[in-house]
Chain A
């Protein structure tokens, strides 16, 4: 009944991503972390090797991979650099609204360029005043018959400065709350769309993050995904699919922190012996391993349910996976810095970067607190 083995293709996919991370991501992660520059070259190579847009169905020319494959890929990439992982994987987040709510024509029209070119897309939900309360959107989409006119702004938008296409969530009438929301596809070069500055972040520094301002942006009605009132639903359905792979990125980062700690504790000598001989260190390593495995299992369980169309159960498991993996990665990375001692606190060693990077996973795509709210809601519903 229970089987943890991966298929031959999943193993091959994991090997390819692992190799890619070893040669294309890890050697460059430190440099991009310091400079905060956008890793165009790495993203292009990721695209060339098919690591982007894995969820596009085969009938539209994609690979049609499921959440399980996304989880496997994100764990491997997360073990290399979580910032690059975010910038590589965010296309999946941005394109899911079109795949979920779009007509075949809309999917063909908007998605095909992403299979032919290393284009980037951004998912635009969060606003300066709408974070955890994502339903309280203020970006106004004025219905003018044949088109909408957008006015307002979005916040913390990943890849915004390099994006070709935005999936934007807006409201036609704020009073209607979610019933007034729409999902619109907006090419970034549309007049009136302007990007803010690249945020100078604590971690995931090479991942581009900006505010976006919309000023009288005219969007034709055919760019609407679904109907008026569908926007928020499409956003939630999208997040149900991406929450688990995001959690898997944290599992990968935690795994890397653990592996670095194991290696270092065997090399570092104090009191004439490797510090790995001391139980104080051994217990930290053992706890790291237990947490990493538990996080991965929650991710696999959520992916398994979601890939079988068990939406409700899958959404619940996804929240468990995201809540646990984000918090656990923060704990593991903090302990990894502790194992390294003073050296771990410097940028000469890789663990402080992991600690800064994973902090963001407790915040983006639903904070750890919001995940708990969702989990509790499942438990308490009648």
Chain B
């Protein structure tokens, strides 16, 4: 079975985000880039699936500028067999990224696609859905358990309140995994040395027939969340404090 993993390279979770002066993007010069943590679970699940089936290949694919290759090499060092890089220096919207990914999925003749449930940078949680829709395949997100056989896949989704929702889908299918499904392995040292020598397939958008395709969405502006206000300390005797607290909860916090 050809298993494909959609990988996004995102700023390290500890990055202090700064917004560019035109508010259209974030400052990228000092950022340490890593594999989207949810996609690490997807890579691990793909590797595990291959190990369980005792056959198949795991191919990782990512869309982005040259630095994206680092994420792909890390995935190979974890154990992926092959990698495809769709080189795009400009910012693409989810639609265009998904279109590109779909073309690679077709080229690689994949029967099963894993991804993280969302990217931790823009948190749109949209790519897996776009990809499934464009392919006309079934999909499931927030997957925390997954058993694959040759022609179908059984998954557990975690839904509100901790309830589990069991689904069975025919293959081919798209599965977006959640935290907790597994513990991703490390990029081992032998893996890193192997990844150094591995050839990575590179495509441009034009190679995939998307040279003249226009994005459907654009970013109007970025804003940082408002700074946290200092807490209020109430004074006076207990009765006064309670009165004041109730008043604040009603009028300021508007929770009662």
Contact = CB atoms under 8 A, between A and B. Distances in A.
Interface of A: 8-9, 12-13, 15-16, 19-20, 48-51, 54, 63, 65
Interface in B171-222: 186-193, 195-196
B74 interface: yes
A50 B192 CA distance: 10
A12 B188 contact: no
A51 B187 contact: no
Contact residues of B: prevailing secondary structure: helix
Contacts of B51: none
B6 interface: no
Given A8-B196, A12-B73, A12-B74, A63 B190 contact: yes
A12 B70 CA distance: 9
A50 B185 CA distance: 12
B96 interface: no
A16 B78 CA distance: 10
Contacts of A19: 186
A8 B187 contact: no
A65 B196 CA distance: 13
A63 B188 CA distance: 11
27 contacts: A8-B70, A8-B73, A8-B196, A9-B196, A12-B70, A12-B73, A12-B74, A12-B77, A12-B192, A12-B195, A13-B189, A15-B74, A15-B187, A16-B77, A16-B189, A16-B192, A19-B186, A48-B188, A49-B188, A49-B189, A50-B189, A50-B190, A51-B189, A54-B189, A63-B189, A63-B190, A63-B193
A85 to B, nearest CB: 16
A50 B77 CA distance: 11
A51 B74 CA distance: 16
Contacts, number: 39
Contact residues of A: prevailing secondary structure: helix
Interface of B: 70, 73-74, 77, 186-193, 195-196
Best-surrounded residue of B186, B189, B195 (most CB of chain A within 10 A): B189
B75 to A, nearest CB: 11
A48 B190 CA distance: 10
B73 to A, nearest CB: 7
B196 to A, nearest CB: 5
Contacts of B188: 16, 48-50
Nearest to B191: A50
Contacts of A48: 188
Contacts of B190: 50, 63
Given A13-B192, A50-B188, 19 more contacts: A8-B70, A8-B196, A9-B192, A9-B196, A12-B73, A13-B189, A15-B74, A15-B187, A16-B77, A16-B187, A16-B189, A16-B192, A19-B186, A48-B188, A49-B186, A49-B188, A50-B190, A63-B190, A63-B193
Contacts of A49: 186, 188-189
B226 to A, nearest CB: 23
A201 B95 CA distance: 61
A63 B189 CA distance: 8
Nearest to B74: A12
8 closest residue pairs by CB, A with B: A50-B189, A49-B188, A50-B190, A50-B188, A12-B192, A16-B187, A49-B186, A9-B196
A183 B73 CA distance: 42
A92 to B, nearest CB: 13
Contacts of A20: 186
Contacts of B191: 50
A8 B190 CA distance: 14
A15 B78 CA distance: 13
Given A8-B196, A50-B191, A16 B70 contact: no
A9 B70 CA distance: 10
A17 to B, nearest CB: 8
Nearest to B78: A16
A49 B191 CA distance: 9
A142 B189 CA distance: 42
A15 B189 CA distance: 10
Nearest to B187: A16
Contacts of B196: 8-9
Nearest to A58: B193
A191 to B, nearest CB: 36
A304 to B, nearest CB: 20
A16 B73 contact: no
Contacts of A16: 77, 186-189, 192
B148 to A, nearest CB: 25
A49 B189 CA distance: 6
A9 B192 CA distance: 7
A201 to B, nearest CB: 29
A51 B192 CA distance: 12
Nearest to B190: A50
Contacts of A54: 189
B36 to A, nearest CB: 15
A50 B195 CA distance: 14
A145 to B, nearest CB: 42
A9 B193 contact: yes
A116 B77 CA distance: 19
B121 to A, nearest CB: 19
A63 B195 CA distance: 13
A57 to B, nearest CB: 12
A51 B189 CA distance: 7
Nearest to B69: A8
